[in-house]
Amino acid sequence: MRLSAYDTYVLFLSLKNHFTQEKYDYFKYKGKIKNISKNSFSMSKDRFLYQRICREYDESVILDFFVANFIKGKVWIRDFLEEEAKDDYMSYMKRKQAITYNFDNELSKALSKVENVQSLFRNNGGQYPEIINLYLNNEISIETMAILNSFIGFSDKFDQKLGKDDILWSKIRLLCLKVQNFLEYDRSKIKNILKDKINATK
């Protein structure tokens, strides 16, 4: 099945709000947005772009397609029609399908660069914690960052140390928090991996 162009438009806007606004939660509001009518959509100059999107992507994949590209920082519907958007979607799906393996592998590589787990999150002399540097260098994925945050809760500590007004951290923080509920993984397996890594560095 395929969504209508209007439903695709609503889904796009709800996910855009989710990834760009602190207070909007796609899951809490079940993807609903106020003051969006079919009449206003029918007069939108971008309606043909949504028609192209819904023709190309089945209902079963369009959510992941949008999420994958919002993670990459896209916010305009035209950007979702570029060839790069397909590549970003495929890359996201590969990471999603191997999320436990990637978490284990990325965490091992990260820990090989520091003394212990705590060192990843330590703020040294006003510098960004190593975990942020690893993310910026594409050595740790946003999925691994989000999973670590769900267990360790480092975002609250970074808020205190770096401040929510730190431009770089605020962007990473928002993405970390917004991605979390889209991730599916065996929490007990991840917990055991994390526990083993912590014990191995003591």
pLDDT tens digits, one per residue of 15-72: 999 999 999 999 999 999 988 889 989 988 999 999 999 999 999 999 999 999 999 9
What residue numbers bound the domain in which 189 lies? Answer: 98-200
Task: Judge if 37 and 63 occupy the same domain.
Answer: yes
- Alpha-helical segments (H) within 82-166: 83-97, 99-111, 117-120, 130-136, 142-152, 154-162
Task: Judge if 89 and 119 occupy the same domain.
Answer: no
Task: Judge if 143 and 53 occupy the same domain.
Answer: no
The pTM score is: 0.94
Please state the domain count of the chain.
2
Q: Which of 96, 115, 142 is the last residue of a domain?
A: 96
Q: Which of 52, 75, 96 is the last residue of a domain?
A: 96
Q: Hey, what's the torsion of the CAs at 5, 31, 182, 20, to 10 degrees?
A: 90
CATH of the domain at 38: 1.10.8.60
Task: Judge if 91 and 128 occupy the same domain.
Answer: no
For residue 124, pLDDT over 80 is answered with no
Task: Judge if 36 and 120 occupy the same domain.
Answer: no
Task: Judge if 147 and 73 occupy the same domain.
Answer: no
d(CA 102, CA 21): 28
pLDDT digits (tens, 9 = 90+) for 174-199: 999 999 999 999 999 999 999 998 88
Task: Judge if 130 and 185 occupy the same domain.
Answer: yes
Q: Which of 96, 117, 146 is the last residue of a domain?
A: 96
d(CA 99, CA 84): 22
Task: Judge if 107 and 195 occupy the same domain.
Answer: yes
Task: Judge if 50 and 72 occupy the same domain.
Answer: yes
Task: Judge if 58 and 146 occupy the same domain.
Answer: no
Task: Judge if 126 and 182 occupy the same domain.
Answer: yes
d(CA 31, CA 156): 27
CATH of the domain at 118: 1.10.220.50
Task: Judge if 151 and 168 occupy the same domain.
Answer: yes
The region, left, alpha or beta by phi > 0 then psi within -120 to 50, assigned to residue 163 is: left
What is the per-residue DSSP string for 47-67? HHHHHHHHHHS-HHHHHHHHH
For residue 165, pLDDT over 90 is answered with no
Dihedral sign from CA coordinates of 30, 34, 40, 44:
negative
